[in-house]
Amino acid sequence: MADADLLIEEVSAYLKPQDVEYVREAIAFSHTAHQGQTRQSGDPYVSHPLAVARILTTLHLDAQAIIAALLHDVVEDTEVTTERVAGKFGKPVAELVDGLSKLDRIQFETREDAQAENFRKMLLAMARDVRVILIKLADRLHNMRTLESMARDKCERIARETMEIYAPIANRLGLNDIYRELQDLSFKYLHPNRYTVLAKALKVARGNRREVVNKILDAIRQRLAEFNIQADVTGREKNIYSIYKKMQSKSLAFAEVLDIYGFRVLVNDFASCYVALGALHGLYKPIPGKFKDYIAIPKVNGYQSLHTTLFGPFGTPIEIQIRTHEMHKIADAGVASHWLYKSGHASISDLHKKTHQWLQELLESLSQSSDSSEFLEHLKVDLFPDEVYVFTPKGKILSLPRGATAVDFAYSVHTDIGNHCIAVNVNHELVPLRTELRNGDRVEIVTAPHAKPNPAWLAYVTTSKARSHIRHFLKTMQSGESAQFGERLLNQALHALGVKPQDMDEAHWNKLLRDTGVKTRQEILADIGLGRRLNMVVARQLASIGETVSNEAAASTAITIQGTEGMAVQFAKCCRPIPGDPIIGVLKSGQGLMVHTRDCPTLHKGRGGEQWLDVVWDKDIHRPFDVGIKLLVANQRGVLAKVAAAIAEAESNIENVNFTNEGECTALHFTLEVNNRLHLANIMRSLRKIPEVIRIIR
Ligand code: MN
């Protein structure tokens, strides 16, 4: 296991002996867990976590992160549980591994830029700990390095995801080396031909360039020495992808791009940066408009440096970066530089605080500069978690305010989906519509053509879109359904008067509208349905127009109740009528029709001002009704379970249950869903068979 030995050697250079020992145990643990598994390439699987850990040692990450890297695929791919990892290596390591497994489960699928942006945000938002992102990036880097053994189409998908998601994240975190390598590797798989041509050309060019580079290097070194500036000067190579981008964006030929020489000057202190700049501007003439002071105004990822471009000896442009060694550390390792060169004694919470502080400082230093809004957006997801990012079944990402529920999601997809949703699958599991969504959830709304918004949704939706659509729907639904019901009431009243509704023509209605000052027929009908107007009164008004009608013909006909009238017909909570019960309708002005059982005690306490109507159940009713029953049972263990089982057996649902103590026994108050009286009778019969049940009262 050469890799394992190298890893131990690397961590020994900066970790405490005790921590090195833990890393050694983690290597053994990972080795055992992945025993027998191989990678696509045929290598033993453990070679992958080892390589990932080794990438992280270059960033000098702490022991917990190195151990988590070694175990990062253990929970996802082997029998080992998070609990076992926690037991053996501590909770923080287990949390890192868990965070990584969560990231692994989400996949980026669409091509749109805006989606890539959301996806990056989601990744950052999900990884509460920066180390999770660092390990994930190292994981991705190693996977990209070993991509050859994958199938073609898979390669392309992974490469695209890397280019669009992971490389930009590496850039934002200031991980320059990782950023460049991810770009080049993605480019290689996305455009294999262009990559090959450029890589070959670059190799050839390198030889020719050496002489020019050395000449300029000498000139720079000598010049700086004259000014007594101690400096490390190096030539810089561009990565292949940035050459390609430059060719594309500036329409340059390969030779023209390569003709630009890059150098880096590292000095000891801040002041020397500016002295060196002045010295070099005296050596070669600067190209106007090319100077950038990223020391005074750092880049959004914390990068600091002076950039200038000079006219070189043969008229070739020379790009120069000048910065201190300290700034260079950050330029190389970005966020991870906070782990760099740390003594082994700093506790994790210290490091955490430091990182948080770094983000905070960055936030403050950036709040003045204008081009920072983009990165601030990213910090926002970590520091001010007020948004969640979730997937549609097709892999599109939606951003919703924190606290948003499945109903909010449904409305943000489409109004029709919101208006017809009846259930929701979150991560392939059926959950209530009020369920609050979390980052990375995959949400699938189940709709039904006849489903309608429920006023109860208003209690838990958080987006204004959902709220206003639900309100709007309820309003129009009320008047539409009430008008239908109103028409039935009116027709019934007309029949009772011995008038055929179809005889009430346009002329009758126009006169009625004029007399009442109401704008539309629909409005009058809705008023009737809602109980705001009495059907008999309207019928008389209509019939009296033109011809006379005998009052004696007022034999009443019962109105049929189907239970689907919506808001225009309500079922009284006092007696909870179910199909089969003898019923009566009560119209109160301003309300719809309220249906009670004929023997309902509250009905006979009527306060006047109501109109009673003869109503009957429709023969075909296909919806369940809530009914209340009270069971007196003996105080014995397991009674509730027996009762609940009997209810379920009788194919009913328990909507609600609560208990009261009644001396020797307990009263169970159930609200059940039943189809009709017969169904309820069957339930009660099977409940009576339970020995502990003493009495059943509806
Ligand atoms: Mn992996």
pTM tops 0.75, yes or no: no
User: How far is C-alpha 619 from the chain's CA centre?
Assistant: 47
DSSP conformational letter for 557? -
What is the pLDDT at residue 608?
Answer: 62
Topology of the domain comprising 625-697? Alpha-Beta Plaits (3.30.70)
Question: What average pLDDT does this structure show over 693-697?
Answer: 90
Alpha-carbon distances, residue 220 vs 247, 285, 289, 308 (angstroms): 28, 13, 21, 14
Q: How far is the CA of 98 from the centre of ligand 1 (A)?
A: 13
Q: What is the pLDDT of residue 524?
A: 86
Region label for 224, one of left (φ > 0), alpha (ψ between -120 and 50) or beta (otherwise): alpha
- Of 1.10.357.10, 1.20.120.1770, 3.40.640.10, 3.30.460.10, the CATH number of 196-340 is 3.30.460.10
Structure confidence at residue 252 (pLDDT):
79
Parallel/antiparallel/unpaired status of strands 593-597 and 569-571: parallel
| Residues 620-668 pLDDT 10s | 888 889 899 999 988 777 777 788 888 888 888 877 777 777 777 888 8
Environment class of 534 (CB within 10 Å of its CB; exposed 0-12, middle 13-18, buried 19+): middle
pLDDT of residue 364: 44
- Model pLDDT, residue 501: 87
Q: What is the pLDDT of residues 394-440, one digit of tens each?
A: 777 788 888 899 999 999 999 999 999 988 999 888 888 989 998 77
Tell me if residue 635 falls in helix, strand or coil. coil
Rounded alpha-carbon distances, angstroms, from residue 596 to 106, 395, 568, 606, 611: 53, 50, 14, 12, 13
Q: What are the tens digits of pLDDT across the range 121-137?
A: 666 655 567 788 889 99
Class of domain 355-476: alpha beta
What pLDDT digit, counting tens, does each position of 36-94 carry?
999 888 899 999 999 999 999 988 888 999 999 999 999 888 888 989 999 999 998 99
What are the residue boundaries of the structural domains of the chain, listed by start?
2-190, 196-340, 355-476, 509-617, 625-697
Does pLDDT of 340 surpass 50?
no
pLDDT recorded at residue 549? 52
Tell how far the Cα of 73 is from the centroid of ligand 1, in angstroms.
Answer: 6
Q: Of the listed 3, 76, 293, 436, which one is catalytic?
A: 76
* Gap from CA of 142 to ligand 1 centroid (Å): 8
Torsion angle (degrees, nearest 10) of CA 641, 642, 645, 649: -170
The string of pLDDT tens digits covering residues 477-521 is 667 777 888 888 889 888 888 888 888 888 888 888 887 777 888
- Residue 550 predicted with pLDDT over 80: no
Residue 76 known to be catalytic: yes
Give the H or E element holding residue 266.
strand 261-267
Share of the chain above pLDDT 70, in %: 82
Tell whether the model's pLDDT for residue 474 goes beyond 90: no
Give Cα 138 distance to the centre of its chain. 25
For the chain, the average pLDDT equals 81
Dist CA 137 CA 124 (whole Å):
12
Shared fold status for 2-190 and 355-476 = no
Residue 179: HSE in the Cβ half-sphere, 13 Å Cα cutoff: 17
Report the separation in Å between the CA atom of 342 and the middle of ligand 1, taken as the mean of its atom positions. 27
Query: Are 585 and 595 contacting, i.e. CB atoms less than 8 angstroms apart?
Result: yes
Q: What is 2-190's CATH number? A: 1.10.3210.10
Q: Taking 90 as the threshold, does the pLDDT of residue 577 lie above it?
A: yes
Active-site hit among 3, 43, 62, 77: 77
